[in-house]
Amino acid sequence: MNGVTVIDHPLVQHKLTIMRRKETSTASFRRLLREISTLLCYEVTRDLELTMETIETPLTEMQAPVLEGKKLVFASILRAGNGLLEGMLDLVPSARVSHVGVYRDHDTLQAVEYYFKAPESLDERLVIVVDPMLATGNSSIAAVDKLKERGARNIRFVCLLAAPEGVKNFVEAHPDVQVYTASLDSHLNEKGYIVPGLGDAGDRMYGTK
């Protein structure tokens, strides 16, 4: 599908299968999500630009590569995005963090915004938006709308599961934002859940249901 990269690394796929199982405990679900998110982070950052800098090893001076530009931003769509955020920060501890609070109205399935906080100079940073589930696409589209309003220009979107309906909506709204996912699932059900999916990601990671 255009605009979507499916990360088919065997470790990602194996961990995802365990997460999907309904008997997987909250503790295991959270640990696996953190592990998977480091692997997704590795893939979504694999083409970041490098610049050379002069350093001294104990033996000699050398030109060595470091990441170019300002610190990148992870933008977590609350609350489930925080599950992906943890592992991303394990891998890029100096990244800046934005929190975007949008929830899905259960009746209309539309995104309602209630919180937004982001670092300075979004226009000069790569912004990696994280949310485990790209379902209808409504909250993801709203979050990216908001980040663009605040100046973000270079955006990528990372999720665990995506539904074809959500990907279609998202790519139509934001054709400049590449989507990275561990799986493109079959469809959405009448309640807006991804099928086969893994249930409610927030509830499964926090044990709220």
Which residues of this protein are in contact with ligand URA, per CB under 6 A? Answer: 80, 133, 135, 192-194, 197, 200-202
Q: Which is nearer to ligand URA, 72 or 135 (CB)?
A: 135
In the complex, minimum distance from the CB of residue 191 to ligand URA, in angstroms, rounded to a whole number: 9
Q: Which is nearer to ligand URA, 40 or 72 (CB)?
A: 40
The SS3 assignment for 86 reads: helix
Q: Which is nearer to ligand URA, 135 or 152 (CB)?
A: 135
In the complex, minimum distance from the CB of residue 146 to ligand URA, in angstroms, rounded to a whole number: 19
How far is residue 14 from each of residues 9, 84, 152, 195, 204, measured CA to CA in Å? 9, 17, 34, 18, 18
Q: Which is nearer to ligand URA, 92 or 101 (CB)?
A: 101
Which residues are CB-contacts of 84 (< 8 A; sequence separation ≥ 6)?
33, 37, 40, 76, 130, 131, 132, 158, 159, 160
In the complex, minimum distance from the CB of residue 201 to ligand URA, in angstroms, rounded to a whole number: 4
DSSP bridge pairs for 14 = none
SS (H, E, C) 7-52: CCCHHHHHHHHHHHCCCCCHHHHHHHHHHHHHHHHHHHCCCCCEEE
